[in-house]
Amino acid sequence: MDYYWDSRIKYLMSSRELYFNDDYIEFLIKNVWKITSPIHMVDFGCGFGYLGLKMLPFMPKGTKYTGIDKGEALIKKAKEIFEKLPYEASFIQSDVNDFEVSEFEFDLAICQALLLHLVNPKEVLNKMIQSVKLEGKIVCIEPHRISANANIYIAELAEETNIDLGIIQKLHSVYQKRTGKDGNIGLKIPTLMRENGLIDIECRVSDRVTYLNSDKEKKVRENIFKSLKSEGVCPPHIEDEEKYLKRLIDNKLDLKEAKRQIEIEKKLNSELTESGILYNILFAPTMMISFGNRRKI
């Protein structure tokens, strides 16, 4: 059976650039986590190795990076990228649910946009904890999607044509109940960490705000808009409106709410597809960065 994210490599490479400025990554490593000597870090659900690419330039020389991901194509891409770089990196193709950790092996375990896709995030978090040494660090970077939905501003469009947060929150809630997966898990991670026995728990938020405007060169604007589209700022074209209406109603929207959501999506798609790269658009994904330490026995 094909792995979904193997077919979404372009999306992953595009959207991840919206999350962090490099200087904030450096600040976290040096001033918040205070990593001053080489470590061995493991990235659960590493994809193409994005976190390694962002973090290793600021890590002490000699730091080792191990990435774990289910996707064959993603692991292949990661190996292609890192074989050209001066870092000690290795990759393991495995579902994080099936991966057998060696206890106390790593100094730092990290994940990004992983736990929201899992029905058992607490179990995988516990696996991350077991993989690190006593007093080792766990970092989980996860979305609080309703915050991201609220943090979209398009100056040229009337605010009433923008996202209806009440409808979106209702859809998030229904999705969670139906699938067991939580798109708003980011703000809940510190509590899960505490329940799993971590100490010295803190939570921060990603710093980057992307601003698309017509002063930028056309190629730059096109690239920014492509990334914004990948994060859902521009909804896709609705191919079958009647079918989509039924789907929204099946997801517990009433008829008025469903029609309102379709109206908003059609308006945004039409306006942004035609003129998006000329608009003033601001987007802050507000990824929640939660971290804590394994208790020393």
In a 3-state reduction of DSSP, which class is residue 144? coil
Q: Which two tokens stand for residue 93?
A: 């193709």
Closest by Cα among 249, 248, 208, 215 to 231? 208
Cβ contact 66:40 at 8 Å? yes
Residue ranges with strand state E in the chain? 40-44, 64-69, 88-93, 106-112, 132-143, 152-154, 199-205, 210-212, 281-283, 287-293
Instruction: State percent of the chain over pLDDT 90.
Output: 84
Model-level pTM? 0.92
Q: Which phi and psi angles does 237 have, rounded to 5°?
A: -65, 135
The residue type found at 186 is G
Report pLDDT digits (tens) over 72-91. Answer: 999 999 999 999 999 999 99
Contact 228, 151 (CB under 8 A): no
pLDDT at 87: 95
| Distance, CA of 276 to CA of 74 (rounded, Å) | 30
Tell me the C-alpha distance between 240 and 231, whole Å. Answer: 22
Strands 199-205 and 287-293: antiparallel
Q: What is the per-residue pLDDT for 10? A: 61
**pLDDT at site 2:** 60
Q: Which two tokens stand for residue 286?
A: 């507000």
Degrees, nearest 5: CA angle 146-19-81: 135
- Tell me which residues of the chain have a pLDDT lower than 70: 1-15, 160-161
Per-residue pLDDT, 3: 60
Q: Which segments within 29-145 are labelled E, that is strand?
A: 40-44, 64-69, 88-93, 106-112, 132-143
CA dihedral 258, 264, 266, 268 (to 10 degrees): -150
Q: Which domains does the chain have, with CATH numbers?
A: 4-144+182-207+285-293 (3.40.50.150)
Q: What is the pLDDT of residues 270-280, one digit of tens each?
A: 999 999 999 99
239-to-168, 261, 267 alpha-carbon distances in Å: 20, 15, 14
- The pLDDT of residue 13 is 60
| Residue 107 backbone class (left: φ over 0; alpha: ψ -120 to 50; beta: rest) | alpha
pLDDT in tens, 210-261: 999 999 999 999 999 999 988 888 899 999 999 999 999 999 999 999 999 9
pLDDT of residue 163: 82
Question: The tokens of 191 are what?
Answer: 């509590």
Q: Which amino acid is at 88?
A: E
Cα–Cα distance, 182 to 118 (Å, whole number): 8
Q: How far, in Å, CA of 53 to CA of 78, rounded? A: 10
CA distance 11 to 6: 10
Which residue matches tokens 């609080």?
144
